[in-house]
Copies of this chain bind each other. A is one copy, B any other.
Amino acid sequence: MAEQPTLYDGLISTRAIRRYLPDDIPTDDLNAIMFAATRGPSGHNSQPFRFLVLRRTPGAAAARALLAKGFALSWQGERHDPPAEDQSRRARMARTMNEFVDTIADAPVIVIACNRDRHSRTDITAGASVYPACQNLLLAARAFGYGGVITQWHHPVRAELEAVLGLPEGVVIAGVIPLGKPAGAHGPVRRLPLPDLVYEDTYGNAAAWAADPEGTRYTGG
């Protein structure tokens, strides 16, 4: 394993990674990443999460092709190609997203996070037993020198994808998580100012002690 950050430093500097180097992820690393993902908590330790891994193998080709279609359809409405001279953050993000969508079929690994929902709950709280594991997955990827992002861009092809993956009745896709070695790098992330997000006693009442560390950079929600 490459040098890795402390737990706390990892938490505050793991970025959404959408551009990958071509390198494969060795199965030893994948195993360690999935082990950490499955250590995530779930209600009553019911472990409803199931992770379906797609590597760049023939058995994954049909699902990958479908995902490429879904991602393209999901991004279609927002897609634009900024002029080359535009180097604004917004323009760079647009290029990253275009590349992400255009190359998703070749992402080193794509993990389909599923939820086996025995109680058929479809409200937000069902997510409390699967997304902590997804976050563990992203953080473990980071620990091993990789990165990824949780997406819902399979949505336009959801029914076909469920059939190709052979999902049984009652199992839903909670997210699609591409992984690979970052073409860029992890580092500090931008959020709203902390007092906008952290309250005390009543909603909207900024906690008096909530303050961002010096040098924190912001972005709107």
Other than A38-B198, A52-B199, give 18 A-B pairs with Cβ distance below 8 A: A12-B36, A31-B207, A34-B198, A34-B210, A38-B192, A45-B190, A50-B199, A53-B200, A53-B201, A53-B207, A60-B201, A124-B126, A126-B127, A128-B134, A131-B135, A132-B135, A135-B136, A168-B204
A7-B4, A32-B8 as given contacts; A27 in contact with B192, CB under 8 Å: no
Counting every copy of the chain, the complex holds 2
Binding site for B on A (CB under 8 A): 1, 4-14, 16, 27-28, 30-32, 34-36, 38-41, 43, 45-55, 57, 59-60, 63, 114-115, 117, 121-128, 130-132, 134-136, 138-140, 142-144, 149-150, 152, 165-168, 171-172, 174-175, 189-192, 194, 197-204, 207, 209-213, 219, 221
- Judge whether B138 and A139 touch: CB under 8 Å: no
Nearest Cβ on chain B to A41's Cβ, whole angstroms: 6
- Report whether B11 and A143 are in contact in the complex, using a CB–CB cutoff of 8 Å: yes
Q: State A181–B176 Cα separation when bound (angstroms).
A: 35
For A143, the chain B residues whose CB sits under 8 A away are 6-8, 11
Interface SS of chain A: mixed
A159 to B212, CA, bound (A): 32
Q: With A126-B127, A143-B8, A174-B128 as given contacts, are A53 and B198 in contact (CB-CB < 8 Å)? A: yes
Q: A124-B123, A132-B150, A168-B203 are in contact. Are A12 and B39 (CB under 8 A)?
A: yes
Pick from B34, B114, B124, B210: contact of A203, CB below 8 A: B114
Q: Which residues does chain B contribute within 8 Å of A202, judged by CB atoms?
A: 52, 59, 165-166
Q: Given the complex, which residues of B lie within 8 Å of A130, measured CB to CB? A: 124, 127, 131
Bound complex: CA A12 to CA B39 (Å):
6
Task: Please tell me which one of the listed residues B14, B27, B38, B43 contacts residue A39 in the complex, with CB atoms under 8 A apart.
Answer: B14
Asked whether A127 and B131 contact (CB < 8 A) given A50-B197, A114-B203, A143-B6, the answer is yes
